Amino acid sequence: MLRHLAFVSLIAAIAGAVSPAQAAGWLEKNFWLSGPRYDAELPACDHPSALSHITSAFARKEGHFWNSEMRIEEFLAVRQVAIRPWAVDTIPRRFCTGQVVTSDGKKRRVNYSIIEDAAAIGASWGVEWCVVGMDRNWAYNPACRMALP
């Protein structure tokens, strides 16, 4: 066993001495080390597609997981809270808040973020959201504060 290990070590040393060391190729330098480049072109908080996404995702979540007919009827007082709050090199996010009127007639706060490259396969922006009082699986607990910066 020891003889076999010595032989393998000798072969590895010879192979290393015979082939000269080379710098990383262009693919190695440019593919992994450059990192993503973001445009930071995010839609406004009141963009119809963002609000539509929240409305449909809320209805789907309530119906599928909680057997509820609850729906979002209207958005009120939507405003931006922050944009890129952590650093320039992080994934661009626009944090927003507002109120929704749900189908039971109650006004509830909604916190959400519009995130660059967060849609399917990073093709477009995506939305993460939380309606206060309706976060039944506590994903953004406490009281949806984790959906804000």
Q: Is the pLDDT of residue 113 over 70?
A: yes
User: What pLDDT sits at residue 95?
Assistant: 98
Instruction: Tell me the mean pLDDT in the region 59-68.
Output: 96
- Answer with the residue of higher pLDDT: 3 or 45: 45
Phi-psi region of 108 (alpha: psi -120 to 50; beta: other; left: phi over 0): beta
CA angle 118, 145, 136 (to 5 degrees): 85
Domains of the chain in start order, with CATH, are 2-31 (no CATH), 48-147 (3.10.450)
Distance of alpha carbon 98 from alpha carbon 130, whole angstroms: 11
The Cα 112–Cα 65 span in angstroms is: 20
Distances (CA, A) of 139 to 73, 83, 128, 135: 23, 22, 11, 7
